């Protein structure tokens, strides 16, 4: 699967998950609908977790030096300036 496609699907899944949370929080849907939405949300969350896990493994491979993984603190100076 292309990187853009996987990223787009991940972002789409996050939006779906947020909508489900809002619907469940509203209290305006029936118990049966709530259970269906909850089940759907769990499946989406599992898919997102898998995507994040794969991304983490890729980052670790990219950071591997001398057959050792070296994790360095991320310091985004541009974010601090804003």
CA distances from 29 to 39, 44, 58, 76 (A): 14, 20, 40, 42
pLDDT mean by block of 10 residues, the chain; 82 residues = 72 96 95 97 95 86 72 56 44
Q: What is the pLDDT of residue 79?
A: 46
Q: What is the pLDDT of residue 48?
A: 94
The CATH number linked to 70 is 1.10.287
> DSSP readout, the chain?
--HHHHHHHHHHHHHHHHHHHHHHHHT-S-HHHHHHHHHHHHHHHHHHHHHHHHHHHHHHHHTEETTEE-------HHHHH-
Q: What is the pLDDT of residue 71?
A: 65
- Domains of the chain: total: 1
Q: Supply the range of the domain harboring residue 41.
A: 3-81
pTM recorded for the entire structure: 0.67
Q: What is the pLDDT of residue 60?
A: 79
């Amino acid at each position: 699967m292309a990187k853009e496609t996987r990223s787009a699907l991940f972002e789409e899944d996050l939006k779906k998950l947020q909508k489900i949370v809002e619907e469940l929080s509203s209290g305006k849907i029936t118990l049966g609908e709530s259970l269906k939405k909850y089940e759907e949300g769990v499946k989406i969350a599992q898919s997102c977790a898998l995507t994040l896990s794969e991304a983490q493994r890729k980052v670790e491979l990219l950071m591997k030096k001398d057959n050792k993984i070296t994790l360095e603190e991320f310091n985004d100076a541009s974010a601090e300036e804003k």
